[in-house]
Amino acid sequence: MRVVVLEAADRFGGGLRTEELTLPGFRHDVCSSAHPLAQASEAFRALDLQREGLAFAQPEAPVGHPLERGRSVLLWRDVERTAAYLGTDAPVYRRVVGGLAERWQQMVDGVLDPFALPPRSPVVTAAFGSAGLWGTTAVNRWVLRDEPARALLAGLSAHATLDLAQPLTTGVGLLLGVLGHSVGWPVAVGGSQSIADALVARLRSLGGEVVVGHEVADIDDLPSNRAVVLDLTPRQVAQVAGHRLPPAYVQRLSRWRYGAGAFKVDWALDGPVPWADAALADAGTLHLVGTAAEAVAAERAVAQGGLPGQPYVLAVQPSVVDPTRAPEGKHTFWAYCHVPNGSTVDMTEAIEAQIERFAPGFRERVLARHVMDPAAMQAHNSNYVGGDIAGGASDWRQLAARPAYSRRPWATPNPSVFLCSSSTPPGGGVHGMGGWHAAREVLRVHG
Ligand SMILES: Cc1cc2nc3c(=O)[nH]c(=O)nc-3n(C[C@H](O)[C@H](O)[C@H](O)COP(=O)(O)OP(=O)(O)OC[C@H]3O[C@@H](n4cnc5c(N)ncnc54)[C@H](O)[C@@H]3O)c2cc1C
């Protein structure tokens, strides 16, 4: 089928854009940086974008999580090297995480295609589900015994942007941990924009078109078509296409709950981050919060609509493996923390204080900084409603009905209107699976 992509911004890429946000020669990923899902998903495996020149760079340690007094726990590509930090929890880690890492592809295919009938890889999916269904606080209380494993799991699970007592939060942590051992958490050489460039190159090579600077305000204004696939969250779908959808469905969309927002800072640094634990220089992504209890408290505060004094800070240092990001000897670095949706509070100080806690002298390396609060996030990409970067709260209710209860949530009651955004399964992240499933639905109806 002939495909035209209409993009509101004057550059394509969405959450994959890379820009000189601070100083000339410093190329910052405005949003996404670490790409385990773009390595692992069925959609990206099939696209094989390396043929379009896309290259990834792998940090030796996908994740670093500093504890106190210069001690850290690191998730290395190697399961054994990671287990060495985990004391009495090492056997359970080897068994659960190491066991799933050996069958990662079946696990990922099952998780990213949750409504397949018959289910994909039921045995592996059940093994994943039996551990992943639990809230992280329950696993930390009843299963894990030592702080390093508890902190590692809490840091990984906090990517869910939920109270860590919520069911399924362990599933998020487990998925990300298993991917760290199997495909790594690589960054795209040259910046995440290279992933979007490769996608567009592939689309154009197949005869597709991309038009930038074209905001779709009403689907009635679109050129004649057989199918419209909306990469929009429910509130925007209701605005753009509500008059073409049954009122009950539009009402369902209007009840959609957006999740917590993100407050992000990008820095241009005149040297690497001065980590108290030198091993953290090898980590691509960092979870800066300290103990598991601190992570739980920080995420609970946000879930209850408040601001943590010491937030859970998620940071990425792409230039440690990709020198193209900054002039020689210099570095780019970014970090965000979760805040209540639409929050207007400046979190720069709180984020930098968490970094200083584990990297004393960090501020002295800062050449320039660029700050994005939730409003700036939404201005950058209108899909980030109130700064929510995942297209809606990802608790179990909104994972089961994303955005409505259906075996085919990518289809709407209108046979010409489809959805493919993070507000459809499998949710946020650069994995391409929303579009993959939506395209299948289009072909099922119109192919
Ligand atoms: C700070 C931050 C860090 C992140 N880190 C990671 C990470 O490390 N790894 C990861 O996997 N994910 C990460 N993510 C999430 C990831 O970026 C998103 O899940 C992903 O980009 C979603 O892809 P998408 O194609 O569905 O939508 P998007 O990338 O959001 O693209 C949607 C596009 O639609 C356009 N648009 C919106 N409305 C209209 C309209 N009416 N008309 C025309 N065009 C419109 C927007 O301009 C945008 O370009 C991060 C996000 C943020 C903000």
Residues 354, 60: Cα–Cα separation, whole Å: 23
With a 6 A CB cut-off, is 229 part of the ligand 1 pocket? no
User: Rounded to the nearest whole angstrom, what is the distance from the C-alpha of residue 14 to the centroid of ligand 1?
Assistant: 5
What is the DSSP annotation of 233-254? -HHHHHHHHGGGS-HHHHHHHH
Residue 257 pLDDT: 97
Helix residue ranges per DSSP H, 3-121: 36-40, 42-47, 79-83, 90-93, 99-102, 104-112
User: Rounded to the nearest whole angstrom, what is the distance from the C-alpha of residue 35 to the centroid of ligand 1?
Assistant: 13
Which DSSP state fits 366? E
User: Rounded to the nearest whole angstrom, what is the distance from the C-alpha of residue 183 to the centroid of ligand 1?
Assistant: 22
Q: How many CB atoms lie within 10 A of CB 386?
A: 19
Residue 69 pLDDT: 80
What pTM value is reported for the model?
A: 0.97
How many residues are given for the chain?
447
Ligand 1 atom 21 nearest Cα = 15
Residue 266 pLDDT: 98
User: Rounded to the nearest whole angstrom, what is the distance from the C-alpha of residue 16 to the centroid of ligand 1?
Assistant: 7
With a 6 A CB cut-off, is 21 part of the ligand 1 pocket? no
CB distance 261 to 339 below 8 Å: yes
Residues 264, 369: Cα–Cα separation, whole Å: 10
Residues 180, 58: Cα–Cα separation, whole Å: 10
Closest CA to 58 of 184, 228, 156, 217: 184
User: Rounded to the nearest whole angstrom, what is the distance from the C-alpha of residue 360 to the centroid of ligand 1?
Assistant: 33
With a 6 A CB cut-off, is 6 part of the ligand 1 pocket? yes
Q: What is the CA angle 164-167-169, rounded to 5?
A: 50
CB distance 198 to 54 below 8 Å: yes
Specify whether the backbone of 55 is left (phi greater than 0), alpha (psi in -120 to 50) or beta: beta
Residues 46, 63: Cα–Cα separation, whole Å: 27
Residue 316 pLDDT: 98
User: Rounded to the nearest whole angstrom, what is the distance from the C-alpha of residue 15 to the centroid of ligand 1?
Assistant: 3
With a 6 A CB cut-off, is 422 part of the ligand 1 pocket? yes
Phi, psi of 408 (to 5 degrees): -125, 70
Per-position b or e across 149-171, b if 16+ CB within 10 A of its CB: bbbbbbbbbbbbbbbbbbbbbbb
Residue 216 pLDDT: 97
Q: Using CB atoms within 10 A of its CB, is residue 44 exposed (0-12), middle (13-18) or buried (19+)? A: buried
Which residue is associated with the tokens 């994943």? 128
Residue 350 pLDDT: 98
Q: What is the CA angle 199-16-274, rounded to 5?
A: 135
Helix residue ranges per DSSP H, 133-246: 136-142, 147-157, 169-182, 193-205, 234-241
Going residue by residue through the chain (447 aa), what tens digit of pLDDT does each one get? Answer: 999 999 999 999 999 999 999 999 999 999 999 999 999 999 999 999 999 999 999 999 999 999 988 899 999 999 999 999 999 999 999 999 999 999 999 999 999 998 898 888 999 999 999 999 999 999 999 999 999 999 999 999 999 999 999 999 999 999 999 999 999 999 999 999 999 999 999 999 999 999 999 999 999 999 999 999 999 999 999 999 999 999 999 999 999 999 999 999 999 999 999 999 999 999 999 999 999 999 999 999 999 999 999 999 999 999 999 999 999 999 999 999 999 999 999 999 999 999 999 999 999 999 999 999 999 999 999 999 999 999 999 999 999 999 999 999 999 999 999 999 999 999 999 999 999 999 999 999 998
With a 6 A CB cut-off, is 261 part of the ligand 1 pocket? no
